[in-house]
Amino acid sequence: MNTKGFTLLELMVVLFIMVLGFSVIGINLSSGNNATAQQRAARDIVSALRFARGTALMSHRETAVTFNLNDNSYTVANRDKVYMIPESIKVTLVTTQNQLLGQNRGSIRFFADGSSTGGRVSLQRGETVWRIDINWLTGHIELENH
């Protein structure tokens, strides 16, 4: 007798392989959440810095992004919102002496011509470091993974 189709055993084996494959994908995705959070935080900071630079250029007024390293947060001038960075990420800020605002606080300031005080913001989690470099002359913002 020549029947066409699959046996129940063949279908069970295929379903088992599919479930096994999806579980491996799920494990990989969940382990990448920490790295994704770090990358997302770095990109959010870059966006805030670019927004501040654009605001300074358009309004012809100095605009600053202020970092509070005590609670891993930052604010953009003229905005009430406080942006939080996950506590598991160590944030370091390198800026000019006159932009240090006290214990573990400092700013990156952008001027009306597009230039800035310059500096660097680093986000470290374990061995992974994302660096955001701000050129003082041009205000250009660059994100690098190290």
Q: What is each CA distance from 120 to 13, 53, 111, 137, in whole angstroms?
A: 54, 15, 17, 14
| CATH number of the domain where residue 71 is located | 3.55.40.10
**Is residue 96 in some structural domain?**
yes
**Is residue 24 in some structural domain?**
no
Domain with 39 in it: 33-145
- Choose from 9-18, 25-34, 55-64 the range with maximum mean pLDDT: 55-64
Q: Please name which of 43, 52, 51 lies closest in space to residue 117, comparing C-alpha atoms.
A: 52
pLDDT in tens, 81-140: 999 999 999 999 999 999 999 889 999 999 999 999 999 999 999 999 999 999 999 999
